[in-house]
Amino acid sequence: MDQTLLDALLQELAALRVGAESLAVEGLTLKAWSVTVTAAALVAACLARPVDRAGRGVVLMAALVAVPFWIADAHARLLQIAQAARLDEIGALLTRCLGGGADLAECDPAALGGALQTEIAGGPDSVVVPPLAYLTELGDAMTDPAVWPAHAAILAIGLVAAALAAPRAEAELRQPTRRGARWR
């Protein structure tokens, strides 16, 4: 194996490892922000005064704050999957080329270029990700066990709050209250 190819692969390996670590941290950050911001929006919607303005629609909108975070986390997961595939590919290539079990053409730097872009783009012939293919992959990533639990949980809590514990209507609020009166 050519020394420049080996250096290039080792540099790419180092960059991919740094990228994978940063994407793992980004995923945790997105989950934390999703729960925090959505919970704050739900509390604000449920406790808003005057309550007549914060009806079920506002609570529902507050619950939907989790969705953009969920999509961003799924996108980061797609990149993480592509990076893991490239890491595996480089590892296998280094094993074959350094171990002497590969053809020289297989160890050519030109043959290796663009594998990460190919993995993200969905095939060797595609230059740009087809929107439907990307949305399909994004949907799969949204249901990935590393992505969905935190986002789905806070969304479900918000939907239940919108359905069951929505703020009372204005007419209920205007009823006079009697202090010291017993409930019958």
Structural domain spans, the chain: 3-170
Tens digits of residue pLDDT in 12-62: 888 888 888 888 888 889 899 999 998 998 888 777 654 555 567 777 888
Q: Is the pLDDT of residue 116 over 50?
A: no
Residue, of 74 and 124, whose pLDDT is higher: 74
Mean pLDDT of 130-155: 87
Measure the N-to-C terminal CA separation of the chain; round to a whole number of Å: 88
Measured distance CA(142)–CA(135) in Å, rounded:
10
Cα torsion 70, 76, 77, 79: sign? positive
pLDDT of residue 96: 75
